[in-house]
Amino acid sequence: MADKRMFSLKIVDSDLFLDMPLSSQCLYFHLSMRADDDGFVNNPKKIIKIIGANEDDLKILIAKGFVIVFEQGIIVITHWKINNFICKDRYKPTLYENEVQSLSQTKNGMYIKESGCHLVDQRLTSGQPSIDKGRLDKVSIDKGRGEEESPPPTNSKTYGEFHNVNLSDEEYQRLKEKLKATQTQ
């Protein structure tokens, strides 16, 4: 496995990539850094734990088509050959020959899965991910990261663009005063 990897801006600057949560984007980079010379990773769960991501981040990568999962838990980076070119004198073939044989490549080098693996999230005919949208909302993604939802204090009101800031009337007045003070300086 190499110490250096490349990333194509065609992939990581796409709206599809940038629409993912930062934790999913980070997981993509870490998986790619640890992939073998054919883009295969045999320990995605370990990498998820190391970087503090969760399995929902991997599900998002699967649903958006950035990785393909095999029955044994091995994954492959879909755009590996677009991101990386490895010279023949440095190239070491993957150990996962059966998985390689179940893949084909598009003209630009993107891996696509031949039929037969039930764990791969296939896209529906409409082009939408087959994973239930309700499972990918912000609340379900954040759950499992150690953040527990607690009810807001009884004497507080919600503020902010997303109504996610709970302040008592006293806290709100102090904040307003601080903001006025900083604006006059």
| Residue pLDDT, tens place only, 88-115 | 888 887 888 888 888 888 888 888 887 5
The whole-number average pLDDT for the span 64-83 is: 89
With a cut of 50, say whether residue 126 has pLDDT above it.
no
**What does the alpha-carbon distance between residue 56 and residue 35 come to, in Å, rounded to a whole number?**
20
Per-residue pLDDT tens digits for 3-61: 788 888 889 999 999 999 999 999 999 999 999 888 899 999 999 999 999 999 999 99
Q: Please, are residues 81 and 111 in contact by the beta-carbon 8 Å criterion?
A: yes
Strand partners, 123: 129
On whether the pTM is more than 0.75, the answer is: no
Tokens 């296939």 label which residue? 122
Residues 122-141, mean pLDDT to the nearest whole number: 44
Name the residue among 48, 58, 47 with its Cα closest to residue 21: 58
159 with 179: CB under 8 angstroms? no
Residues paired with residue 166 on neighbouring β-strands, in sequence order: 158
Mean pLDDT value across residues 118-142: 43
Q: How confident is the model at residue 151 (pLDDT cuts 50, 70, 90)?
A: low
pLDDT over 70, % of the chain: 75
Dihedral sign from CA coordinates of 40, 43, 44, 49: negative
